Structure 1
Amino acid sequence: MSHVETQTTAAPAAGAQDAGQLRKLVIASVLGNALEWYDFFLYGTAAALVFGPLFFPVGGDPMQGTLLAFSGFAVGFLARPLGGIVFGHIGDRYSRKMTLIMTLTLMGATTFVIGLLPVYAQIGIWAPISLITLRFLQGVASGGEWGGGVLMLSENAPASRRGYFTAWSQMGVSGGFVLSAFAFYLVQKLPEDDLMSWGWRVPFLLSIVIFLVGVYIRKNIRESKAFSQAKPEAKHEKIPLMVLIREHPKALFQAIALRLPENGASYIFFTFSVVYAKHIGIGTGEIISAVTLAMLVEFFSILFWGALSDRIGLKPVYYIGVIGLLVMAFPFFWLLSTGDYGWIMVAMLLGLPFCHGAMIGTQPCIMSDLFPVRVRYSGLALGHEVGSIFSGGLGPMLAVALLMHFDASWPVSLLLMAYALLAWIALRSLPSTNKNNEVSK
């Protein structure tokens, strides 16, 4: 066989291997993100519905118990930057693949154990302490999970289709929510006593299924191409975090600002909206049903927004989401207040698949393009997770506090607009040449 023939037959084989590897990466990323967000959304739903009386019983106003439960929600977000620093360091210096297995294992274990916890009536103050501790560990795992899954796709996908392929990882967010909401929707059908005694535990225990499948797939993926090429240089960076802060502070602040409206809107739309519905006398079942349907639509719309960014650029698509949120901040709650399921559905469809979908579908590419390979994991994880503290972490708790103080939704609408305006400023400072950038700068 001639040298030319060998090259000719080897090229398709290599292409087939790359395509197969990319498919594995897509599945691994989707499952990892699905487990991460299944776990996080479970806590958010449980905090709104059952964790108050079970773990934070306070006499009088039940909203106070709910507020304390949401403080545990915030603890998870406060832990995420720590996870971003720890796993970002490992991912930038040693292995992207290794961090993905570590984060998935920690997330799966902590969620399963939450389903086994005794409640306050059984062990007193140790119940909320145990819950908050596990929530903290969940946050550490989550802080390293998203960046790793995104980078494995971003650094291996064809340059002309990075938006489309990285959007797949974000489908895990919607998929995780749909699974968690469906699980709680079913257990909510149980009698009140059964729900409060054992029913709420079932969704947490079922997370073991996603975990086992995810670990099996992640053990069989290869290291990121871009990281393998840059690894010798990365080894010289003893502390990637210090390089990030010293050389790329502007990019870090841009990433944080871009995260605010996406994460803040999502948690206010599908977590705080349950609390708001209870406050104004609307059945929580209707809200959970509407949110679940909207997130199911978003599951597919994310791919549309990612593919669109490959055609028109990342910034224009992100602008669509930010401007949409500015426009929807007040009408969203007006539509919910009607109590009509049709209008509630309209609010959720505009807020989630449209506004939120446009931002989350393009976020992996637009944020990863901010950082060079040698500090990309650390930059992406830290920017993403610090932004999470001020939006998804503190946002629902602040929204509940504003609702209690003002007895109205307009302060929460202003909070959403503030998030969107900060992202607008960050977008204006980004270069307009991100379209189809090579990821290895």
Structure 2
Amino acid sequence: MSTSTFSQQDRAQSRTGEEQKTAQRSPRKAAFASWIGSAVEYYDFFIYGTAAALVFGKIFFPSFDPVTATVAAFATFGVGYVTRPIGAVLLGHIGDKYGRKKVLTFTLLLMGISTFMVGLLPTYGQIGIAAPISLVVLRMLQGLSAAGEQAGANSMTLEHAPAHRRAFFTSFTLSGTQAGLILATLIYLPISALPEDQLLAWGWRIPFFLSAIVVAVGMWVRRTLPETPAFNEEEKSHTQAKLPVAVLLRDYKANLVRVIFAALISVVSTIFSVFTLSYAVNTVHIPRATMLTVLVLANVIALAAIPAFAMLSDRIGRKPVFVFGALGSAFLIWPYMWALSHANIPLIFVLGLLLSGVVYSAANGIWPSLYGEMFNTRVRLSGMAIGTQIGFALGGFAPTISAAILRPGIDGWVPVAVFVTITSVISAVSVLTAKETFRTPMNELGKL
């Protein structure tokens, strides 16, 4: 055999070895790419909400009275949800027809540009009515991006993951959520301590500019991430759906409805992080710093609890872990709100960390694999995006509903606890009606 032949064989073996290493790295890279994207999304989400509460009413709506200006500022925060269903349909179609990587590159870039440009916006005093209009437009673009980011990241990670560890790898999307909230809190603490004139003049812009660093890292990771094997097979066989949403509505209506109702578990999160914060501080008069500490510590605990529950679901199944998280949250909301109403600080810490940091993480950590495994590769991104965005939007109104049903007196929180319990039970029942999929091969997921 000639030297040339040996050389060709060596090169071929080398290429094969490199391809195998790349294939082995892909689950980790996909998980890290998902973690980064989710961290960016929720970092941006938190800093925008904080800026809306502290700054935007004063610099974008200065001609209004203070109360109306605050309401208007929070309205700009809310319009992000208007474009989410639109983004879910549009980006779901692109991701299922043209690839997950294209969607993830687009969503991260759009979120990064939109957030950075908020930091560049002139104020009302500089350009008049064009300032709040520009703010609304950029917030709507953020909502469009967020609609496809999480579903795209979950689909990418799920389809790269080893068959026996799909929940563990997809859980990194939700770990990124916690990291984004923690990072935003740590950055805003020194910014919010600035004198008000400096905060309004330039300080509020810094967190928006800093998001560019995280976006740049995320773009670098996603640029080198290969498309998923499952989608590549669809593309090679030319079996992608021409209209994924039409196929989804025709063949997967039941699972789409399951995801919508299962996603109501997000009510626990919005009640814990938004409503109970307001109730504790404004009604019970617990110090704000105390409640913020509970929120931060709960997120820190969740960083460990989420992947732990995901690993458990890879061993015993998705349904028992999710249902434990949903029903456990339905139970724990009662003693937690009782502790809040009585300003029992030690119990608030113990029950708050147990509710949000541990038990809720059981459902929160495994829904990316649970929902994604309900759909075939042809419609997975569309099914996850549309289902979760509708469910999350309903969950997003939970603080408003809770504020409306809150009653005077020390037991006035009871209707809120009932509301959380009902939505959590609905979520658990929805999942109980689904098939168990933790041992189902990728090519058999969502088979009709």
Partner of 2:49: 44
1:75 to 73, 76, 79: 79
Offset from partner CA, 1:113-160 (integer Å, 9 cap, x none): 222334455555444433222221111001011111111110111111
* Distance in 2 separating the partners of 1:51 and 1:273: 23
Partner of 2:278: 275
* Distance in 2 separating the partners of 1:165 and 1:111: 28
* Distance in 2 separating the partners of 1:21 and 1:56: 47
Report the Cα offset of residue 47 of structure 1: 3.7
Change (3 A) 1:367 1:236: closer
Q: Is the CA contact 2:167–2:366 (under 8 Å) kept in the aligned structure 1?
A: yes
After TM superposition, the structure 1 = structure 2 runs for residues 145-294 of structure 1, keeping only pairs within 5 Å, are 145-232=149-236, 237-261=241-265, 263-280=266-283, 281-294=285-298
1:435 to 419, 435, 438: 438
Change (3 A) 1:110 1:402: farther
Change (3 A) 1:36 1:406: farther
Q: Is the CA contact 2:27–2:162 (under 8 Å) kept in the aligned structure 1?
A: no
Taking only the aligned residue pairs, the percentage that are identical comes to: 36
**1:25 equivalent in alignment to 2:25:** no
Offset from partner CA, 1:303-362 (integer Å, 9 cap, x none): 101101011110011011101121122333332344454333224312222232111110
Q: Is the CA contact 2:95–2:152 (under 8 Å) kept in the aligned structure 1?
A: yes
Report the Cα offset of residue 224 of structure 1: 0.6
Offset from partner CA, 1:61-114 (integer Å, 9 cap, x none): x4x655554443332123212111111111111121111110000001111122
Counterpart of 1:103 in 2: which secondary structure? helix
* Distance in 2 separating the partners of 1:418 and 1:125: 43
Q: Is the CA contact 2:88–2:389 (under 8 Å) kept in the aligned structure 1?
A: yes
2:419 to 407, 410, 415: 415
- The range that moved more, 365-374 or 229-238, is 229-238
Report the Cα offset of residue 195 of structure 1: 3.2
One-letter amino acid matched to 1:84: A
Q: Is the CA contact 1:90–1:99 (under 8 Å) kept in the aligned structure 2?
A: yes
After TM superposition, the structure 1 = structure 2 runs for residues 358-369 of structure 1, keeping only pairs within 5 Å, are 358-369=362-373
Report the Cα offset of residue 265 of structure 1: 1.8
* Distance in 2 separating the partners of 1:396 and 1:204: 26
One-letter amino acid matched to 1:328: L
Q: Is the CA contact 2:339–2:345 (under 8 Å) kept in the aligned structure 1?
A: no
2:303 to 299, 305, 310: 299
Structure 2, unaligned runs of 5 or more? 1-5
* Distance in 2 separating the partners of 1:402 and 1:70: 21
- The range that moved more, 93-102 or 70-79, is 70-79
1:377 to 364, 374, 381: 381
Report the Cα offset of residue 230 of structure 1: 1.2
* Distance in 2 separating the partners of 1:72 and 1:6: 58
* Distance in 1 separating the partners of 2:54 and 2:267: 20
Q: Is the CA contact 2:96–2:240 (under 8 Å) kept in the aligned structure 1?
A: no
1:349 to 349, 353, 370: 353
Report the Cα offset of residue 417 of structure 1: 2.0
Change (3 A) 1:343 1:43: farther
**1:34 equivalent in alignment to 2:63:** no
Partner of 2:395: 391
Structure whose alpha-carbon radius of gyration is higher: 2
Partner of 2:133: 129
Change (3 A) 1:411 1:360: same
Q: Is the CA contact 2:114–2:138 (under 8 Å) kept in the aligned structure 1?
A: yes
Report the Cα offset of residue 402 of structure 1: 4.5
Alignment TM-score, normalising by the size of structure 2: 0.88
Q: Is the CA contact 1:329–1:414 (under 8 Å) kept in the aligned structure 2?
A: no
Partner of 2:119: 115
Report the Cα offset of residue 234 of structure 1: 5.8
Change (3 A) 1:187 1:348: farther
One-letter amino acid matched to 2:173: S
One-letter amino acid matched to 2:147: G
Change (3 A) 1:220 1:201: same
* Distance in 2 separating the partners of 1:358 and 1:69: 34
Change (3 A) 1:296 1:14: same
* Distance in 1 separating the partners of 2:192 and 2:281: 15
Report the Cα offset of residue 49 of structure 1: 4.2
* Distance in 2 separating the partners of 1:251 and 1:371: 8
Change (3 A) 1:413 1:133: farther
Total equivalences in the alignment = 436
One-letter amino acid matched to 1:171: S
Report the Cα offset of residue 39 of structure 1: 0.9
Q: Is the CA contact 1:181–1:288 (under 8 Å) kept in the aligned structure 2?
A: no
Change (3 A) 1:325 1:365: same
**TM-align CA RMSD:** 2.9
- The range that moved more, 374-383 or 42-51, is 42-51
One-letter amino acid matched to 2:356: L
**1:332 equivalent in alignment to 2:332:** no
* Distance in 2 separating the partners of 1:350 and 1:242: 42
* Distance in 1 separating the partners of 2:26 and 2:14: 19
* Distance in 2 separating the partners of 1:150 and 1:159: 15
Alignment TM-score, normalising by the size of structure 1: 0.89
